């Protein structure tokens, strides 16, 4: 996961356009994601389905297309932290 966020930081620090960010993601992040997906698929037969790791792998693989969609579009952020942080005061009732 750190490798994915390092790529995002690199794109931001270089002030890359959306297209450049997409190209960087394809070059650097996509191989990492392929490696992670392969590892999860290899582990799945060896873990108990109802164990924490079994449930986590099954859940992640079930959402894999959605989780990796950000690679396809340089305008999409890797996560939704900015949105969550902006609405947190409202959710916690701190807005007057």
Triad 90, 94, 96: Cα angle to 5°: 95
Mean pLDDT of 18-37: 98
Q: Is the pLDDT of residue 92 over 80?
A: no
Instruction: State CA 48 to chain mean position distance.
Output: 25
- Domain span at residue 57 reads 2-92
User: What pLDDT digit, counting tens, does each position of 63-91 carry?
Assistant: 999 999 999 999 999 998 877 878 777 77
User: What pLDDT digit, counting tens, does each position of 33-44 carry?
Assistant: 999 999 999 999
Q: What does the alpha-carbon distance between residue 41 and residue 32 come to, in Å, rounded to a whole number?
A: 14
**pTM for the whole thing?**
0.83
Count the domains in the chain: 1
Residue 18 C-beta-side C-alpha neighbours within 13 Å:
7
pLDDT at 44: 96
């Amino acid at each position: 996961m750190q490798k994915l966020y390092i790529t995002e930081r690199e794109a931001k620090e270089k002030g890359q356009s959306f297209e450049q960010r997409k190209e960087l993601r394809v070059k650097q992040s996509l191989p990492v994601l392929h490696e992670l997906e392969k590892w999860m698929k290899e582990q799945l037969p060896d873990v108990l389905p109802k164990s924490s790791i079994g449930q986590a792998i099954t859940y992640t693989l079930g959402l894999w297309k959605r989780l990796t969609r950000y690679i396809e579009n340089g305008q999409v952020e890797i996560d939704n932290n900015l949105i969550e942080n902006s609405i947190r005061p409202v959710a916690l009732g701190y807005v007057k």
